[in-house]
């Protein structure tokens, strides 16, 4: 069902589907075969400015609708996405070279996310306080602390989950009565437009969303600093996140950024289980997941055995094209592949052993396992976003904890041990958002809080947490 016809897509601007007034567009090609899939409008600052104002103006009427009415539209959105999952999945597959089955399941996962968001929003309430709860306070004062929308939310998504990580920002924002400026990743923008088409088809008033297509390097700073933007929720690289944090002023930010998740394997671990989880965690979607396992810290005594078990599995990973449902597919672009290759080359020059892989065809990198990686090598610290896993051998759990925490990142970590007390003790010392005991690092289930510390982020996502992030308190005091 691969679409060979080029699409000339319109974006949602001024409440209508349109191209850019300038006639400019950005061409989108498939990472795995270079074929042009289509063009998305490259919007100018003037166009964006007018559309953002219109979207901001539409917000108060939306907030006045009942939560039931908003929920009905979002539930319909989920239903349409489920109906269109093959078509939208195809688009994800072509745009970001994600294997077909994962691309389709990303759409179903998104529909579930939206449904849960609607249900969870019904359960969130404000609070009532009596004035005499504070010493010297007056019982005749009753404070009603309601949750009110922040206004207009700028949602910026990454390429690797162009539908799921966009909807997981847009759905909570709309459900809570906000309007949305959606900046999709350019590589992923076609899928992002299809996501919003489904939303408008579900009955959302079209001026409530502006889809800000165009390169982030051209329009990003303008969007981030726009005075009508009341909050930014962003997923992407740490450098971009820091840049956004520096530019924006006096507005709340939620940032989900990069990671360098370690898998700590203790001498008493079940090595078969650890190897299976580590391989799935490190190489799925070619390692292009913020939550991918990006280094293994294993105790010396068990390192040889673990490396052998991991190698056996890595050599069985399917490598190829997303249409064939291969696990490892070409990376998002040549630049990314060059960077991953440079990390491999640096490690080799400094004495690491290539156990398997280190083979490249254009931007297709074969799954690579590096052993005897040491802290002087870049790959011990930098985030590759590709299918390469470094093994760092450690003498004890204290060294593993120290190396884990010396990272600039702090998204997730895994601890493999059959001694739960010991594993929990280590988990408590790790400076990360989430620790997985005896399992790979991953975001789901999606209603769990999801956060990174240090260079991995700011604020919390998850369903309840995302809903809470897009509202603020509004207090009315009844003076009886």
Ligand X SMILES: O=C(O)[C@H](O)COP(=O)(O)O
Site residues, ligand NDP (CB under 6 A): 156-160, 183, 185-186, 215-217, 220-221, 224, 235-237, 240, 243-244, 256-259, 290, 383, 385, 411, 452, 457
Instruction: Answer yes or no: 256 catalytic.
Output: yes
For residues 26 and 39, the answer to whether their CB atoms sit within 8 Å is yes
Q: Which residues pair with 153 in a beta bridge?
A: 180, 231
Among 120, 256, 382, 465, the active-site one is: 256
Q: What residues have CB less than 8 Å from 68, skipping those under 6 apart? A: none
Question: Shortest approach of ligand X to residue 440 CB, angstroms?
Answer: 9
Site for ligand X in 424-453 (CB under 6 A): 442-444
Question: Shortest approach of ligand NDP to residue 156 CB, angstroms?
Answer: 5
The nearer residue to ligand NDP, 256 or 371, going by C-beta atoms, is 256
Of 446, 392, 387, the residue nearest 172 (C-alpha): 446
Of 465, 161, 110, the residue nearest 289 (C-alpha): 161
String of DSSP letters for 276-305: HHHHHHHHGGGG-STTSEEEEEEEHHHHHH
Which range, of 175-183, 286-294, 295-303, 379-387, touches ligand X by CB under 6 A?
Answer: 286-294
Exactly one of 113, 159, 161, 234 binds ligand X (CB under 6 A); which one? Answer: 161
Which range, of 40-48, 284-292, 311-319, 378-386, touches ligand X by CB under 6 A?
Answer: 284-292
Question: Shortest approach of ligand NDP to residue 318 CB, angstroms?
Answer: 23
Q: Which residues pair with 129 in a beta bridge?
A: 143
Find the distance separating the first CA and the last CA of the chain, reported in whole Å: 68
- Decide which of ligand X, ligand NDP, none touches 177; Cβ closer than 5 to 8 Å per partner kind: none
Binding of ligand X by 160 (CB under 6 A): yes
Rounded to 5 degrees, what are φ and ψ at 48? -65, -40
The nearer residue to ligand NDP, 166 or 397, going by C-beta atoms, is 166
Site for ligand X in 329-348 (CB under 6 A): none
The nearer residue to ligand X, 62 or 113, going by C-beta atoms, is 113
| C-alpha–C-alpha distance, residues 71 and 66, integer Å | 9
| C-alpha–C-alpha distance, residues 64 and 42, integer Å | 33
Of 180, 174, 176, 171, the residue nearest 232 (C-alpha): 180
Exactly one of 291, 327, 336, 466 binds ligand X (CB under 6 A); which one? Answer: 291
Site for ligand X in 165-204 (CB under 6 A): 165
Question: Shortest approach of ligand X to residue 51 CB, angstroms?
Answer: 27
Helix (H, G, I), strand (E, B) or coil at 376: coil
| C-alpha–C-alpha distance, residues 325 and 327, integer Å | 6
Which range, of 157-165, 209-217, 364-372, 402-410, touches ligand X by CB under 6 A?
Answer: 157-165
The nearer residue to ligand X, 39 or 441, going by C-beta atoms, is 441
Question: Shortest approach of ligand X to residue 242 CB, angstroms?
Answer: 18
Of 232, 162, 126, the residue nearest 469 (C-alpha): 232
Question: Shortest approach of ligand NDP to residue 117 CB, angstroms?
Answer: 17
The nearer residue to ligand X, 151 or 162, going by C-beta atoms, is 162
| C-alpha–C-alpha distance, residues 446 and 279, integer Å | 22
String of DSSP letters for 75-124: HHHHHHHHHTHHHHHHHHHHHH---HHHHHHHHHHHHHHHHHHHHHHHT-
- Decide which of ligand X, ligand NDP, none touches 221; Cβ closer than 5 to 8 Å per partner kind: ligand NDP
Catalytic residues: 256
Give contact residues for ligand X (rule: CB under 6 A): 160-161, 165, 289-291, 442-444
């Amino acid at each position: 069902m691969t679409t060979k016809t080029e699409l000339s897509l319109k974006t949602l601007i001024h409440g209508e589907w349109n191209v850019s007034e300038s006639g400019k567009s950005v061409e989108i090609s498939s990472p795995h075969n270079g074929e042009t899939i289509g063009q998305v409008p490259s919007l100018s600052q003037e166009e964006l400015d007018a559309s953002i104002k219109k979207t901001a103006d539409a917000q108060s009427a939306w907030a006045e609708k009942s939560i039931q009415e908003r929920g009905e539209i979002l539930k319909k959105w989920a239903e349409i996405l489920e109906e269109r999952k093959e078509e939208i999945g195809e688009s994800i597959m072509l745009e970001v070279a994600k294997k077909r089955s994962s691309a389709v399941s990303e759409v179903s996962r998104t529909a579930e996310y939206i449904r849960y968001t609607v249900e969870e929003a019904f359960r969130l309430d404000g609070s009532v306080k009596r004035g005499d709860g504070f010493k010297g306070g007056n019982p005749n004062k009753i404070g009603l602390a309601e949750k009110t929308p922040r206004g207009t939310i700028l949602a910026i998504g990454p390429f690797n989950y162009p539908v799921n990580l966009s909807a997981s920002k847009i759905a909570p924002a709309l459900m809570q009565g906000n309007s949305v400026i959606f900046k999709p990743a350019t590589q992923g923008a076609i899928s992002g437009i299809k996501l919003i088409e489904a939303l408008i088809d579900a009955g959302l008033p079209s001026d409530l969303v502006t889809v800000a297509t165009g390169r982030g390097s051209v329009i990003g700073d303008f969007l981030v600093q726009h005075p009508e933007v009341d909050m930014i929720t962003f997923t992407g690289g740490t450098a971009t996140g820091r840049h956004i944090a520096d530019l924006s002023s006096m507005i709340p930010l939620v940032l989900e950024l990069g990671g360098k998740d370690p898998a700590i394997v203790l001498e008493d671990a079940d090595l078969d289980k650890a190897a299976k989880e580590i391989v799935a965690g490190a190489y799925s979607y070619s390692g292009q997941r913020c939550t991918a396992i990006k280094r293994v810290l294993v105790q010396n005594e068990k390192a040889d055995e673990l490396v052998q078990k991991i190698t056996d599995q890595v050599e069985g990973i399917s490598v190829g094209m997303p249409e064939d449902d291969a696990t490892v597919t070409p990376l998002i672009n040549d630049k990314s592949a060059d960077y991953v290759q440079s990390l491999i080359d640096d490690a080799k020059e400094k004495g690491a052993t290539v156990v398997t892989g280190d083979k490249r065809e254009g931007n297709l990198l074969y799954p690579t396992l590096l052993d005897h990686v040491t802290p002087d090598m870049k790959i011990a610290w930098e985030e590759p976003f590709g299918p390469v896993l470094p093994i760092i051998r450690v003498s004890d759990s204290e060294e593993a904890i120290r190396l884990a925490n010396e990272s600039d990142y702090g998204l997730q970590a895994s601890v493999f041990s059959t001694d739960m007390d010991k594993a929990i003790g280590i988990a408590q010392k790790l400076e990360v958002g989430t620790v997985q005991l005896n399992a790979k690092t991953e975001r789901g289930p999606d209603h769990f809080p999801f956060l990174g510390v240090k260079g991995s982020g700011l604020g919390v996502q998850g369903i309840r947490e995302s809903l809470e992030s897009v509202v603020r308190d509004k207090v009315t005091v009844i003076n009886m």
